[in-house]
Amino acid sequence: MKEITALNGVHLSMQAGQIVAVVGESGCGKSTLGLSIIKLLQKPPAEIESGRIIFKGKDLLKLNNKEMANLRGTSISMIFQEPMSSLDPVYTVGNQIEEAIEIREKRMGAKDYGPFPRTNPELRRGTQGGLTRVFGVQLPKSRREYVYSEEIVDVMKRVQIADPERVLNKYPHELSGGMVQRVMIAQALVEKPSLLIADEPTSAVDVTTQAQVLKLMQELRSEIGSSILLVTHDLAVAAQVADRIAVMYAGELVELADVKELFEYPLHPYTEGLLKSLPRQYRDEGRLEAIAGDVPDLKSPPSGCRFHPRCKYAFDRCNAEHPELVEPKPKRKVACFLRYPN
Amino acid sequence: MRKRKPLQVHAVDDVSFSIAKNETLGLVGESGSGKTTLGRTVLMLEPRNSGRITFEGVPISEVKGEELRLFRKKMQIVFQDPYSSLDPRARIMDIVAEPLRAFGEEENVIDEAVRRVAAEVNLPTDSLTRFPHEFSGGQRQRIAIARAIVINPKFIVLDEPTSALDSSVQAQILNLLRKIQEELGLTYLLITHNVGVVRYMANRIAVMYCGKLVEVGSTREVLEQPLHPYTSALISSIPQPDPTKRMDAVPVTGEVPSTINPPRGCRFNPRCTYAKDTCRTDEPNLRKILPGHLAACHFAENFIHEACAK
Amino acid sequence: MKHVRFDTREYFTTLRIIFSSVITAIGCVIAIGFLVVAAVVWLTNGSILPYNPYLITTAFLQPPSYAHIFGTDNLGRDVFSRLLAAAPFDAEVPVAVLTIALSLGILTGTLAGYVGGVVEEVVMRVTDMFLAFPGLVLALAIAASLGPGINNSILALAPVWWPTYTRLARGDTLSLKSMQFVEASRASGHKTRYILLHHIVPNVIPVLLVYATIDFGNVILTFSVLSFLGVGAQAPSPEWGLVTVQQEQFLLSAPWSPIIPALAILVVALAFSLLGDGLRDALDPKIRSLYG
């Protein structure tokens, strides 16, 4: 069985209310990074060998399962790429948002909702059309429609879901992918997390829906002050919303900078290559410059700098030694010998 | 037992267009637009209710059986997913040789042709005896392209050829596709949802929405002077890889409607900021607004602005 | 260049995965050992056995000793020799039955799944008919009407097994049909027969093989039950199920006599089941990729 190092020497820090985008291609470890922070990695086969994850002064790696579970859904939230598999198919949308509120209230020590909290009267204002009469006998309708509390309806309106009362009583499979992704964000809004980890939240939706979802995420930051760790392969998406960008390649952090500076003047050859390979020109306006070669197989990564086989600036040192992160300018980190101070 | 009438989905509804030789027509749309179905119908891989498909002057939609099979020599397809478009149990050389084998070519001819196209798409020579799982997504797509060109077709449908690939590999594949188009004189129907890709690859663009064609024209004109509100909304929704060019407001709200029950009148009207009464009742036809530039909007003329210096 | 499609490195990976877990490794060793023993005994026509399994002697009901590892039965026959002598029969029946089931299953299942329409309906209804009967009851009915004997047992068991494989093959074919490489083949201009033979069948076989391996033990068990009930193998055959019932009366006085063959059934059936488990893991692409 081969072992691979999915993440190697990634140093990242985030401030409150900041949006940091982690950008990279397949196999770079960005999703693993997100899952590690919220400690949702499957322990076998994954193992965290070293490092710390400091959240509000506490090292998350030292917390036990119960303490970590308390943080999830309240202080740290996550939304995933595939909207359809992120919601439980046997509960309606309304149920799931209620659940989010209950978890929040419980964590804040407010009330004890007991083993079957969904009968909580504060979250629902009542049922409508619950029963029908057939030959004078009361029969339950096949589906109970609930009227949810204002808070829930409000948050649905905020994520631009038209007709929230109806949608709240629907099951996930009755909604489109874009809708479900917005429900996920509604859940996040309700949870009011300090940190939201969004793992490729727009890869599975249309571009018009993507624009809406990105806008919503920005509102999340401005209204609640959440920090967002946005994991994406799309540099353009990162350009739209991020304050800072971390570029990853083959499990390592290769560049970290404020968003404007990164796009204006990328320091790492990989970042430069990525930017150049995005098609922006017309057919008659010259060729795209592609990065040669393929993303390396993490089972046998290249020696020295992992990018050197594809790098057009590579020289001898790149093969022999592994570059560490240096800080050539304030608030800019890069792992490349070209940027070493000499 | 009562039999329920099956729901009818008009995935592609009343679409007409033509592609000139050596041209690349980009078919752009989001999910549910019908673009993939259209691409496959053009190759007669999907059945159709009505309409005609003409290839080099021959109405192939009337052709059946063996005669139709022979036309497959001239039309090929490259699929989106490089992971399921190659038989996992077949060797690369057999995968690439498949179209040749379908038409009974001799083994030595096949051998030579396979080597030739493998070199053409930059596959290393020792890869021919290997299996698909040993290759990366980009390499598999090269194999799929090799398979498509081995039989010297004239026309290739590219169904989202780079959507499943990383951006760095995408650029390689796009360059490869352009290279072989020039060298082999191919005509492409490029289906994609990525406007950057279609801008780089296509001479002309056709925009689809909810099963209908809403705008057709040269790439530059459609992207710089869109005449249909959906096209401009689509273009504005594309995030630019430039933090100084951020979107202020969301260009369009709402969801793409399902083709089972499309809105009455113009299908885009529920989401259109310019919608008027006629839009809700009359469905607009695709008509010529400017030379070489068609749009399906009652008020397309209003969107022509003088600020285009050509 | 021939149309060769087997990668020998794949077999090594398969073996490595099977042997990565102790349990499946043991299962694999026992299962293969069983088949090897059966082959050897059959090829040497029993001459390799320490004692003649059919020779009645006076040394009856002897407990296990140096001379007789598992003791002797009520007619003085060496239990160990009879155990091994039965191996060819208990191997032959599952192999024959499963071969028939697999061939029929792949043939009808892939055709039904790929072509669909009337063909599929007919095939599915026929399998439904067979599946409507509980397996053992059907086998018994056929065996009873055909008469006892091993060949008849094979004919009785095959109809019980083939419908499941047809169903499996059809299901697999349906999902393969929507795979793009099948579409690509159609777009390349190939006809249905080619696609079935070259694309569908080679991809369906591995799944069915795994199932058949797990099923191997089930066939042995059912055949043993047939013998147990008198419609399978007949005396003086050393078939394990038959011996178990014949020696049952000595359970308390000479327990080795009935228990050893019963244990053999258990162990071999279990071994194949475990081997099948290992094979299923070995064919899982996610697990395979971990082994390079």
Considering the domain architecture, whether residues B160 and B50 belong to the same structural domain is answered as: yes
Cα R_g (chain A), whole angstroms: 23
Residue ranges with strand state E in B20-115: 24-28, 54-55, 58-59, 75-78
**For the segment B254-294, what is each residue's pLDDT rounded down to a tens digit?**
777 877 788 888 888 888 888 888 888 888 888 888 888 99
**For the segment C97-140, what is each residue's pLDDT rounded down to a tens digit?**
999 999 999 999 999 999 888 999 999 999 999 999 898 899 99
Query: What sign results for the dihedral spanned by CA atoms A188, A189, A193, A195?
Result: positive
Residue B99 lies in a domain: yes
Which amino acid would we find at residue A322? H
Q: Name the 3-class secondary structure at B159.
A: strand
The pLDDT tens digits along chain A (342 residues) read 567 888 888 888 899 899 999 999 888 888 889 888 888 887 777 888 888 888 988 888 888 888 887 788 778 888 888 777 788 887 888 888 888 887 777 766 655 544 444 545 555 655 555 445 555 555 555 566 777 888 888 888 888 787 888 888 888 888 887 888 888 888 887 888 889 999 988 887 888 888 888 888 888 888 888 899 999 998 999 999 999 999 999 999 999 999 999 999 999 999 999 999 888 888 888 888 888 888 888 888 888 999 999 999 988 889 998 998 889 888 899 999 988 876
Q: Position of tokens 């401030």?
A: A15
Q: What is the pLDDT of residue C1?
A: 30
Residue B8 lies in a domain: no
Beta-carbon contacts of residue C274 (< 8 Å; ≥ 6 apart): C23, C24, C26, C27, C28, C31
Q: Tell me how far apart the alpha carbons of residues B102 and A115 are, in angstroms, rounded to a whole number.
A: 65
Place domain C9-55+84-290 in its CATH homologous superfamily. Answer: MetI-like (1.10.3720.10)
Q: Tell me how far apart the alpha carbons of residues C23 and C16 are, in angstroms, rounded to a whole number.
A: 13
* DSSP per-residue letters across A201-234: TTTTS-HHHHHHHHHHHHHHHHHH--EEEEEES-
Q: For residue A302, is the peptide bond before it cis, meaning its omega torsion is within 30 degrees of 0? A: no
Give the least confident one: A202-216, B7-21, B223-237, C19-33: B7-21
- The two three-digit tokens of residue B214, written as one number: 């809403």
What is the ipTM metric for this complex? Answer: 0.83
Q: Tell me how far apart the alpha carbons of residues B254 and B230 are, in angstroms, rounded to a whole number.
A: 12
Q: What is the pLDDT of residue C128?
A: 93
Residues of A with CB below 8 A from B29's CB? none
Distance from CA of B164 to the nearest CA of A (A): 10
CB C214 within 8 A of CB C276: yes
- The two three-digit tokens of residue B18, written as one number: 């033509």
Q: How far apart are the first and last CA of chain C?
A: 27
Which of 157-176 (A) contact B at CB < 8 A? 160, 162, 176
Contact at CB, B72 and C189, closer than 8 angstroms: yes
Residue B257 lies in a domain: yes
Contact at CB, A299 and C292, closer than 8 angstroms: yes
Residue B10 lies in a domain: no
Considering the domain architecture, whether residues B96 and B30 belong to the same structural domain is answered as: yes
Considering the domain architecture, whether residues B149 and B240 belong to the same structural domain is answered as: no
Which residue from B minimizes the CA distance to C199?
A: B87
Please count the CA atoms within 13 angstroms of the CA of A45 that sit on its side-chain side.
Answer: 10
Angle between helices C135-146 and C150-177 (to 10 degrees): 140
Q: What is the pLDDT of residue A115?
A: 45
**For the segment C51-95, what is each residue's pLDDT rounded down to a tens digit?**
888 888 888 888 888 888 888 888 888 888 888 988 988 889 999
Query: How long, in residues, is chain C?
Result: 292
Considering the domain architecture, whether residues B188 and B290 belong to the same structural domain is answered as: no
Distance from CA of C204 to the nearest CA of B (A): 11
Q: Tell me how far apart the alpha carbons of residues C180 and A22 are, in angstroms, rounded to a whole number.
A: 33
Q: What is the pLDDT of residue C124?
A: 93
- The two three-digit tokens of residue A204, written as one number: 């599975």
Residue B105 lies in domain: 18-202
Considering the domain architecture, whether residues B172 and B225 belong to the same structural domain is answered as: no
Minimal CA–CA distance to A242: which of A225, A254, A230? A230
Domain boundaries, chain C: 9-55+84-290
Q: Tell me how far apart the alpha carbons of residues C61 and C53 are, in angstroms, rounded to a whole number.
A: 14
Average pLDDT over residues C212-219: 88
Considering the domain architecture, whether residues B197 and B241 belong to the same structural domain is answered as: no
Which residue from C minimizes the CA distance to A1?
A: C291
Q: Quick check: B231 contacting C, CB < 8 Å?
A: no
Beta-carbon contacts of residue B282 (< 8 Å; ≥ 6 apart): B265, B266, B298
Q: How far are the Cα atoms of A161, A262, B193, B209 from residue A278, in angstroms, in the given order? A: 33, 15, 15, 25
Average pLDDT over residues C176-199: 82
Q: For residue A330, is the peptide bond before it cis, meaning its omega torsion is within 30 degrees of 0? A: no
Q: Tell me the β-bridge partners of A258.
A: A244
CB B138 within 8 A of CB B173: yes
Residue B2 lies in a domain: no
* Chain CA centroid to CA A229, Å: 6
Cα R_g (chain C), whole angstroms: 22
**Residue C172 pLDDT more than 60?**
yes
Average pLDDT over residues B180-188: 93
Domain boundaries, chain A: 1-89+195-342, 91-170
The pLDDT-based confidence of B3 (bands split at 50, 70, 90) is very low
Residue B92 sits in a domain whose CATH number is 3.40.50.300
> For the purposes of burial, counting CB atoms within 10 Å of the CB of A309, is it exposed (0-12), middle (13-18) or buried (19 or more)?
middle
Considering the domain architecture, whether residues B119 and B175 belong to the same structural domain is answered as: yes
Q: What is the pLDDT of residue B218?
A: 93
Average pLDDT over residues C215-243: 85
Residue B11 lies in a domain: no
Q: Tell me how far apart the alpha carbons of residues A82 and C110 are, in angstroms, rounded to a whole number.
A: 33
Q: Tell me how far apart the alpha carbons of residues A231 and B8 are, in angstroms, rounded to a whole number.
A: 39
Q: How many domains is chain B partitioned into structurally? A: 2
Beta-carbon contacts of residue C143 (< 8 Å; ≥ 6 apart): C152, C153, C156, C226, C231, C232
Distance from CA of A72 to the nearest CA of C (A): 29
Q: Tell me how far apart the alpha carbons of residues A276 and A21 are, in angstroms, rounded to a whole number.
A: 19
Pick the CATH number of A1-89+195-342 from 2.40.50.100, 3.40.50.300, 3.30.365.10, 3.90.550.10: 3.40.50.300
What are φ and ψ of residue A97, in 5° steps?
-70, -35
Residues of C with CB below 8 A from A2's CB? 290-292
Residues of A with CB below 8 A from B240's CB? 236, 239-240
Q: Tell me how far apart the alpha carbons of residues A71 and A119 are, in angstroms, rounded to a whole number.
A: 25
Average pLDDT over residues B29-38: 84
Query: How long, in residues, is chain A?
Result: 342
Considering the domain architecture, whether residues B186 and B218 belong to the same structural domain is answered as: no
Residue B12 lies in a domain: no
* Chain CA centroid to CA B40, Å: 9
**Residue C283 pLDDT more than 80?**
no
- The two three-digit tokens of residue B265, written as one number: 């009148």
Average pLDDT over residues B92-113: 88
